[in-house]
Structure 1
Amino acid sequence: MGQPEKHPLTIDGREASNLRGDPITGDRYTSKEFMQREWDHMWTRIWHVAGRTAELEEPGDYIVHDFMNESVFCVAQEDGSIKAFYNSCRHRGMRLVNDSAASDSFQCPYHGWIWGKDGVLAYAQDSHDFPQGDPCGKLKLKELRCATWGGFVWYTMDENAPELLDFLSPIPEIYKNYPMDTAVRVYWLKVDLNTNWKFATDNFSESYHTRTAHPQVPPWIDQDVDTARHEMYPNGHGRTVQPMRPSLTDRLPDGVPHPFDYFLRQWDIDPESYPDYETKAMQGWLDLKAAKRRLWKERGYVHYEHMDDEQITDSPHTVMFPNVTISFLPDNLVFFRTEPHATDPNKCTFDLWCMAFPVAGQTEVESIMAGPQPLREAEMQHRIFDDGRGVPEIEGQIVYQDMMLAEGMQRGMHSRGYEDAYLTGQETRVRFFHEVLNDYLEGRR
């Protein structure tokens, strides 16, 4: 397979004339009133990720997703489908479950009502004592629309929201060659951060910060301004596609081991065979594509079978409106998500899920954001960032460096010295995200 064709919905993500020019003001990050508008007009209308389908393998398996003051749980049914319910007893509102687990029924801890996994009330104490009649077998938990894509379980609070695939379009079409449902979540971290949730979407919508914040990246992903392809799509999603080859601008000092050499040797290419750095970067990248095409089957990289030449060697970093980002790497998926604090616009949670495509014979994988990890489903760890002290195991990783910047960025949004972003062309998608958010808040979407 060769290079992919541009999707027909693609908008140039470097062309500012595609935007209205809405200002990105500090109150968007600090105002409780703005936060409430986001809840009223955007969060209650989009699709949310509850978890992975791998968590719902047997009937009665369920996952709980708490979002601000709301809570939803998704339950595997006997027929293999998944139902989503508000996590609230229909008797007097008590929350039914706190943590993901498995159960054939859900008993309210307050008055003992028992709900089946299909959401129907199975038992109520003194069921004859209801003036409106016995509720058992009649009353149901309030259900939400639920769907799956990419091995993720999604739900929406809006009965009139578009279908999931329409909401995500064209992302499912662009990444149809990735067997995302087979990816194993090998690292799972939730971090409490003192910043607004929008920091992450802004951050992942550009790579202009990479040279400053992530100096370890250019030696293996080409971050040069005119190399990357910037795309945005009408629903608010977007991506930056960069070759996984060394930058020709940022070079490691002589004598320092080069990470690109590791990738070449992994596929039987001698990095010393190239006459100079430029040839190794450019021709080596092409040779790597050819070697992967030639050797993938015998080495067990079965997920390469339907991937094109760009997908087996490059890094499409993809933001899905409003708060999910996935790095699609040849052998890994890295999922990032921020979600707002229930009451404070200066706080959020940051989710990091590192996922790997299984390769025959591998028991350990190299996770881009969390280092070497055993190839098995990980348990969730919940930490407080605490200026990096709360997550020492990822110190120095790209995502750690981003989180180190987040709280200073939030403090800057409170300053009278900041009025609006002054953006480069390669940061066009940052303003695009805010304009789509404005469309939701002002009733245009």
Structure 2
Amino acid sequence: MTTLREDVPPPMDGRDPSHLRGDAITGDRYYSAEFARKEWDGLWTRIWHIAGRTAEIPEAGDFLVHTFMKESVIAVRQDDGSVRAFYNSCGHRGMRMVDQSSSVAAFHCPYHGWRWGIDGVLEHAQDADVDFKRGNPCGKLKLKELRCGTWGGFVWYTMAEEGPSLEEYLAPMPALYKNYPMDTAVRVAWYRIELNANWKFVTDNFSESYHTRTAHPQVPPWIDQDVDSARHEMWPAGHGRTVQPMRPSLTDRPADGTEHMFAHILRAWDIDPAKYSSYEEFALQGWKDLKQAKRRLWRERGYVHYENMDDEEITDSPHTVIFPNVTISFLPDNLILFRSEPHATDPEKCYFDLWCMAFPVEGQSEVESIMAGVRPLREVAECEHRVFDGGRGIPELAGQIVYQDMELAENMQAGMHSRGYSDAYLSDQETRIRFFHEVLNDWIEGRKG
């Protein structure tokens, strides 16, 4: 049963296809250059994008560079602590000024030496006093600015000069996840992986857990994604989530005598898994006992991020899609961000971002990052840029859930070209997939934004 909160509008049932118009999910959406152009015009230039994490720019002059298709944006920390965003294009002749995130006192154009302050105002131009009949441009010209904001430890910007504010665009996510101290999370793994698939495969994939039993057999022993256990929710803006109890599935049971992952979790919180008389009691009562144990022991164990989290949040996994291309898994001790962005020229390629983040726990020096294995509990310095290449490009992630998803992507992309495919025949628990495509249609056809 959905837990209603006063500050969050009730969601639509993500398993009820009566909420759908029935727009077809045709194959050309995944490979057509014309459709990709519609997405650029109607979606990407109007939504809010993540430039990076606030933790990357703690001091004035620290800046992020986010290159999206053929556009590039700088988000820079100001002297007053705010963050402002500018197009990465010199106001003289359009030269791209910086290639990667760093820190500056001012931005210097490498072509003719024009210098722009971190507030976007031109500070210096060669021959400024003697060679501009229109007058010295310094102090007058400004870099073109974009609307910018922060939420969840992320810096966001939009290319749209008008439209919803960041708070309006994200709603109800900020209210829904206000108990998670997202700003304190430490990014322990950071990948950008080139994938031979359209960006929408990623959102499709993360909008359902129907594929888990087939693609991720390691998941049911510790996350219950059974059709009647997980809660499916969606909101009119296109955001949605699957709330999954972090307990063993009652359907997909391990073989007799197998040491169960959930047993290790219970022991870690001083619960004896042998005390339960049946598998059902082990899964269901053990899950309830785990909630009580975490409530009793969190402070002395150093899990300070539990302080404001409720019983569902300290034991469950709300796997959340923020329309159109950001997914965050909210685990009790981890945040995992997935993002897909289109290739600049080829709609059959995309970039898949994986950011594994962990909440600091006193006394811990490493963390099980779920998607990327055991990692030191410290901020990684640089992004790992890889090409998936059938998995050969990221061998260290082999066997991880996200690796298994990427293994499916290229054949799924190929299948979109088949004359045998005309539209998806979806189960009720895949309702959010068609809903995503319908909201996408609303954006590119001018009904939203």
C-alpha offsets along residues 282-322 of structure 1, whole Å, 9 cap, x if unaligned? Answer: 00000000000000011111111111110000010000000
CA offset at residue 3 of structure 1?
8.6
- Alpha-carbon offset, residue 130 of structure 1: 1.2
1:347-405 deviations in Å (ceiling 9; x for gaps): 00000000000111111111010111111111210000000000011100000000000
Report the 3-state secondary structure (helix = DSSP H, G, I; strand = E; otherwise coil) of the residue aligned with 2:262.
helix
Q: Distance in 1 between matches of 2:437 and 2:2?
A: 31
With 138-147 and 126-135 compared, the bigger mean Cα shift is at: 126-135
Q: In structure 2, what is the Cα distance between the partners aligned to 1:176 and 1:197?
A: 29
8 Å contact from structure 1 (residues 4, 310) kept in 2: no
Structure 1: give runs of 5+ residues left out of the alignment: none
**Pairwise CA distance, 1:113:** 0.6
When normalised by structure 1's length, the TM-score is: 0.99
* Shift, 1:8, TM fit: 2.5
Instruction: Kindly report structure 1 stretches of 4+ aligned residues shifted beyond 2 Å.
Output: 2-9
TM-score normalized by structure 2? Answer: 0.98
Specify the alignment match of 1:75 in structure 2.
76
* Preserved CA contact (<8 Å) 2:212 2:219: yes
Aligned partner of residue 67 in structure 2, secondary structure: strand
Aligned pairs for 1:84-123 (under 5 A) are 84-123=85-124
Deviation of residue 131 (structure 1)?
2.0
Letter of the aligned partner of 1:23 in structure 2?
A
* C-alpha displacement of 1:161: 2.0
Structure 1 contact 4–308 (Cα < 8 Å) conserved? no
Where 1:444 maps in the other structure, the secondary structure is: coil
Distance 2:252 2:300 in 1: 35
Distance 2:43 2:369 in 1: 33
Deviations 1:181-224 (A, max 9, x none): 00000100000000000000000000000000000000000111
Structure 1 counterpart of 2:336: 334
Code of the aligned partner of 2:426: L
Letter in 1 for 2:199: W
Taking a change above 3 Å as real, the CA distance of residues 331 and 383 of structure 1, as seen in their structure-2 partners, is same
Contact 2:196-2:349 at 8 Å conserved across structures: yes
**Equivalent in 435, 438, 445 of residue 441 of structure 2:** 438
1:392 corresponds to 2:395: yes
- Per-residue CA deviation, residues 270-291 of structure 1 (Å, 9 max, x unaligned), is 1111111111000000000000
Structure 1 vs Structure 2 CA RMSD: 1.0
Q: Deviations over 1:119-155 (max 9, x none)?
A: 1111100112112111011100000000000000000
How many percent of aligned residue pairs carry the same amino acid? 72
**Distance in 2 between the 1:373 and 1:257 partners?**
24
Is 2:160 the partner of 1:161? Answer: no
> Is this contact kept in 2: 1:3–1:310, CA < 8 A?
no
How does 1:133-212 map onto structure 2 within 5 Å?
133-212=135-214
Aligned partners of 1:240, 1:97: CA distance in 2, in Å?
39
- For 2:134 and 2:236, locate their aligned partners in 1 and report how far apart those are by CA, in whole Å: 49
Unaligned runs of 5+ in 2: none
Kept in 1, the 8 Å contact 2:64–2:100? The answer is: yes
Question: Aligned partners of 1:8 and 1:33: how far apart in 2?
Answer: 36
Deviation at 1:256, TM superposition (A): 2.1
Write the deviation string for residues 99-136 of structure 1: whole angstroms up to 9, x where unpaired. Answer: 10101111111111111111111110011211211101
Q: State the Cα deviation string for residues 51-95 of structure 1 (Å, max 9, x = none).
A: 000011000000100000000010001000011000000111100
Task: Work out the CA distance in 2 between the residues paired with 1:414 and 1:123.
Answer: 53
- For residues 116 and 226 of structure 1, the distance between their equivalents in structure 2, rounded to whole angstroms, comes to 56
Conservation of the 8 A alpha-carbon contact between 1:311 and 1:330:
yes
